[in-house]
Amino acid sequence: MTLFLHLARRAAVAFLGAQAAVVALFLAVDFAENASTFHGHGWVATAALVYAYKATAVAWQTAPAAMLLACALTASGLRNTREYTAMRALGLGPWRVAAPALAVALLAAGAMAWLGDAVATGAAARADEILQQRYGRGGPPRGWDEQKSWFRGQGGRRLYHLRRAGEDGSFERVTVLEIGEGFTLARRIDARRMAPGARPGEWRLSGGAERRFEGERVVTEPFAERSYDFGDGPDAFAVRPGRPAQMRAGVLSRQIALRRSLGLPVAEYVLEWHNKWAWPLAGLPAGLLALGLALRRERRGHFTAALVESVAVSLVFWLAQGLCFSLGLTGRLPPAAAAWAADALFLVAGAVSLRRLA
């Protein structure tokens, strides 16, 4: 147990150090490139908030690579101090090194899975939103982030163009089109906000205008607030717009079930749901392979070799994951299998590499 705790402590310190170094490097480079963006009163607080969001997103994205590097550094340190040679002389195999390192990787994966779902989801988009609201910047426009969708109402005579959705079932910047005979536009309603009313199918629209098209004449009626009985309840608009990667696991589960019931594509949503757990856990198989490479008998060098091996394994893993994701999105692999395939391949490769050293 003493040896287990000693090695686990070394792996944990290496992981935290690698994670902190990667996040700090990213934030430093990003701030150096965008320092001129922050100005005016309260820019320090704004910058701190923006980079807190960015740090959360980067920590989740780089955690498997940091765990991989931590495993390689732990094994390299043992070899550099001859501790591993002494362990082998006592009959202790490579799994006595791998077990505590993988235990730390499992704990780190659990923490990152929670962080990714509870905090990091949408963190980068929130940082861009703050920059856009405060300074008019935040990166190029992205169609996913606009969060707008078209819906067809009951009977197919009413079309809804809805932008950002609120937690209370409301929508912002709404356009409602009513189609008349001969597929002509009979009425158009634009509103700043649309919220559910007191009765089923009723909606309260605020800050808008109603236009009625009567032949060659257009009648416009602005309003501060007005109720409409469209007949379509909130369930008709439950399909949420936006990137699946910016949705929490519970929301993704509900969206998958709803989209399946409506006959809408779900591959990307299923893939993202599984990736919320497969990505944090990728540190285990990648770390296992890093240990197998670092503990091989013919290996030369220590910390430099660990860094080179970690970069190489990371690149191969990302290539394998990208290929599997493409196969999953195009229907050549089930989305669930595509999300876990890279983890499974590297787990087998790592286990084989360590078995050969035993």
What is the rounded CA–CA span in Å between residue 125 and residue 11? Answer: 32
What is the rounded CA–CA span in Å between residue 125 and residue 139? Answer: 10
pLDDT digits (tens, 9 = 90+) for 54-72: 899 899 989 999 999 899 8
Is the per-residue pLDDT at 18 higher than 80? yes
Give me the pLDDT at residue 262, please.
67
Instruction: Name the band, by pLDDT with cuts 50, 70 and 90, for residue 327.
Output: very high
Check whether residue 224 and residue 114 sit in a common domain: no
**Domain of 187, in residue numbers:** 148-237
Instruction: Name the band, by pLDDT with cuts 50, 70 and 90, for residue 219.
Output: very high
Give me the pLDDT at residue 145, please.
47
Average pLDDT over residues 80-91: 84
Check whether residue 85 and residue 22 sit in a common domain: yes
Check whether residue 291 and residue 167 sit in a common domain: no
Check whether residue 8 and residue 113 sit in a common domain: yes
Give me the pLDDT at residue 164, please.
75
Check whether residue 53 and residue 74 sit in a common domain: yes
CA quadruple 321, 323, 327, 333: dihedral positive or negative? negative
Is the per-residue pLDDT at 197 higher than 70? yes
Average pLDDT over residues 309-326: 91
Please enumerate in sequence order all residues whose Cβ is within 8 A of that of 291, keeping only pairs 6 or more positions apart, or say none. 71, 72, 74, 75, 94, 97, 98, 101, 350, 353, 354
pLDDT digits (tens, 9 = 90+) for 142-194: 444 445 577 888 777 889 888 777 767 788 889 999 998 888 899 999 999 99
Tally of domains in the chain: 2
Looking at the domain assignment, is residue 260 inside a domain? no
Is the per-residue pLDDT at 130 higher than 50? yes
